[in-house]
Amino acid sequence: MQEHEFATRLVAWQRLHGRHDLPWQVSDPYRVWLSEIMLQQTQVSAVRAYYARFLARFPSLPDLAAAPVEEVLTLWSGLGYYSRARNLHRAACMVMDRFEGRFPAVREQIEQLPGVGRSTAAAVAVFAFSRREAILDGNVKRVLTRVFGIEGFPGERAVEQRLWSLAERLLPQEHEAMPAYTQGLMDLGATVCTRGRPACTVCPMVDACHAAQHGRTADLPTPRPRKIIPVRHTLMLMPVASGRVWLERRPSEGIWGGLLSLPEVSDTTAAEDWVARHGGGDVLSDWPEVEHAFTHYRLVITPVPVRLAAPPVAPGSGAWLPLAEAPDAGVPAPVKKLLLRLAGAPPA
């Protein structure tokens, strides 16, 4: 298969068999950008509801820029990678005062926005402005490594560079074909050239696909080299008083940045110190640990429910929330699990 034939086949396939009903298939750059950020490392099925909710609250970019970042984070909670939400808000403000409210139409300018890398910038440039730019996300890497038989872990610099240059050579010549071509690349990866059981029998590339012809779809793309995942332990205090629980806002840097959460301490001594510093109280019971898995480590949380002796005077930066409301206050998933348990078995 000549390289120019790839785009021809893909565009024809997309028009007949691609997805045409995704809510963000519009030309409004704000909506395209929002969807691309939400879709980073997150699957379509998970994004749909968040996208609708987000647009209902922030129908346009000026609405988003005018909102407090805390509200953006609350709408984001559950999607993960919370720096995306902070960057989204920063970028909206940047478009307002650096680009006078007009979304930039060139890939290099879009790429200046925080949270937007080359691939995301290219996707916005293509869908909103029909620019001739290549994307290279997980779907595209899978399709290209299989069709063209590219060996090596795509996270490796040399492999990724080969993929970028290949992706650029494959672009259709006509600007008008760019949205269908780019959508076709994503659709093929998402619905046909899937990770587990690719549907090669209905693939428009099957006769030219290196992996399909050599029975190597299970080997490509080359998987990430194995690593040992460490385990970390932490304690989370659950300070309760008068039917309310104390939540603190975490620093914007690091894990769960900017989210409301339970106070975290490193060990039991630090836990006792914390209670003493806040007027003293009783540890209510020993609760079972909660495990939470990240990409790079496993976190074991020991919950420490405490009834504070002192009345609910706010210590530091946070809030006393009614037990029934706390689980939905935009907290990290494992904290929500703890708060639901707390609300289900409130201290007498």
Partner DNA sequence: AAGTCGGGGGT
Partner DNA sequence: ACCCCAGACTT
Q: Which residue has the tokens 């074909």?
A: 177
The verdict on 99 binding DNA (CB under 7 A) reads: no
Q: What is the CA radius of gyration of the chain?
A: 24
Q: Is 71 a catalytic residue?
A: no
Q: To the nearest whole angstrom, how small is the minimum distance from the Cβ of residue 272 to DNA?
A: 26
Q: What binding mask, one character per residue, do residues 127-156 give for DNA by CB under 7 A, x or -?
A: ----------xxx-xx-------------x
Structure tokens at 272: 């006792």
The verdict on 264 binding DNA (CB under 7 A) reads: no
Identity of the residue, 9 or 292, whose beta carbon is nearer to DNA in the bound complex: 292
Size of site (CB under 7 A) for DNA = 62
The verdict on 14 binding DNA (CB under 7 A) reads: no
Binder among 64, 116, 247, 304 for DNA (CB under 7 A): 116
Q: Where are the alpha helices (DSSP H) in the chain?
A: 3-17, 29-38, 44-57, 61-66, 69-76, 83-98, 107-110, 118-129, 138-147, 157-169, 178-187, 210-213, 268-277, 333-344
3-state helix, strand, coil in the chain (%, to 5): 45, 15, 40
The verdict on 22 binding DNA (CB under 7 A) reads: yes
Q: To the nearest whole angstrom, how small is the minimum distance from the Cβ of residue 40 to DNA?
A: 4
Bridge pairing between strands 231-241 and 264-265? antiparallel
Contact of 88 with 64, CB cutoff 8 Å: yes
Instruction: Round to whole Å and give the CA distance between 173 and 11.
Output: 12
Identity of the residue, 259 or 304, whose beta carbon is nearer to DNA in the bound complex: 259
Crossing angle (nearest 10°) for helices 44-57 and 29-38: 140
DSSP bridge partners of 238? 305
Residue 299 is given by DSSP the state: E
Binder among 1, 46, 67, 284 for DNA (CB under 7 A): 46
Within 313-332, the residues that bind DNA by CB under 7 A are 332
Residue of 36, 133, 248, 264 marked active site? 36
Q: To the nearest whole angstrom, how small is the minimum distance from the Cβ of residue 335 to DNA?
A: 8
The verdict on 101 binding DNA (CB under 7 A) reads: no
Binder among 1, 17, 44, 48 for DNA (CB under 7 A): 44
Binder among 2, 21, 296, 311 for DNA (CB under 7 A): 296
Within 62-91, the residues that bind DNA by CB under 7 A are 78-83, 87
Q: Which residue has the tokens 């879709």?
A: 39
Structure tokens at 127: 């869908």
* Active centre residues (catalytic): 36
Which residues contact DNA by CB under 7 A? Answer: 22, 24, 35-36, 39-46, 78-83, 87, 114-121, 123, 137-139, 141-142, 156-158, 186-187, 189-190, 194-197, 221, 223-224, 226-227, 254-257, 292-297, 332-334
